[in-house]
Amino acid sequence: MLARGILLAGRFEIEREAGSGGFGTVYRAFDRRDERAVAVKVLHEARREAADAARFAREAPVTASRPSVTPLTPSDATQASMPLASQSA
């Protein structure tokens, strides 16, 4: 679990955990660059192997293409946390 105040990819400040599943955890965060609330999905540490990381990177454009999902914000997927962020309601 990431602590409140942790900064991911130099811009996403963690506020709280929003949910968790088998693949990763979603956090409510604040995007300092765009000055808005976002949801940030972070892979579980055990899922950060190459195959899982590649699947996670492929998930972003697929998820963003769904009409019911807010498009994902580009983020630094090379960090150990590999965050993906989407606009939060």
CATH number of 64's domain? 3.30.200.20
Domain assignment present for residue 2? The answer is: no
pLDDT at 79: 45
Q: Which domain holds residue 11?
A: 7-87
> Per residue in 31-88, pLDDT tens?
898 898 888 888 777 766 767 667 777 776 776 666 655 555 555 444 444 555 666 6
Q: Is the pLDDT confidence value at 8 over 90?
A: no
pLDDT value at residue 5: 96
Identify the residue with better confidence: 47 or 23. Answer: 23
* Residue 55 confidence (pLDDT): 75
Distances in Å between the Cα of 46 and the Cα atoms of 49, 78, 80, 82, 88 are 7, 16, 11, 13, 26
What is the C-alpha to C-alpha distance for residues 12 and 72, in angstroms, rounded to an integer?
13
Residue 26's pLDDT is what?
A: 87
- What is the number of structural domains in the chain? 1
What's the CA gap between 66 and 7, in Å, rounded?
A: 28
